[in-house]
Amino acid sequence: MSDTKKFLYVNRKAPYGTIYALESLEVVLIGAAFEQDVALAFLDDGVFQLTKGQKTDGIGVKNFSPTFRALGDYDVNKFYVEKESLEERGLTEDDLQDITYEDENDDWAEKPSIRIVTRAEMADIMADQDVVLSF
């Protein structure tokens, strides 16, 4: 499949203060239909999108965080989360949702989608893409 391209969706904004995070997720879902090699990057305030226990009743906005857990069913299972961005914000991997996918090449074993990477590794990941979409 030589026409498959590597797409990286870069998320650098917190979830509810602006519409960027929700719009990114919408585009990821649309893009998933085109069978491309899709990965998501979360850095800077973007790491706040993945916290567990989000409850939005009090602000009258849809809680879209559960949608991240559905992306595995669309073959979107590479969630690169930057370690330094977590640390700067007082977060650890334990503060994030458990997001998993079933690996069809490994008897449908359940595997974690979130991969914690260093800032240097994130730069390498960005440099390895055909297309970068920023939100």
Which residues of the shown chain bind another protein in the complex (CB under 8 A)? 10, 12-13, 20, 43-44, 119, 122-124, 126-127, 129-132, 134-135
Q: How far is the CB of 122 from another protein (least distance, A)?
A: 6
Q: Which helix (H) or strand (E) holds 126?
A: helix 119-127
Beta strands in 1-135 (DSSP E): 6-11, 37-42, 79-82, 100-103, 109-112, 114-117, 131-134
Select 50 or 99, whichever has its Cβ closest to another protein.
50
Q: How far is the CB of 119 from another protein (least distance, A)?
A: 6
Select 18 or 56, whichever has its Cβ closest to another protein.
18
Rg (CA), the chain: 15
Select 36 or 97, whichever has its Cβ closest to another protein.
36
Q: How far is the CB of 73 from another protein (least distance, A)?
A: 28
Half-sphere exposure of 49 (CA within 13 A, CB side): 33
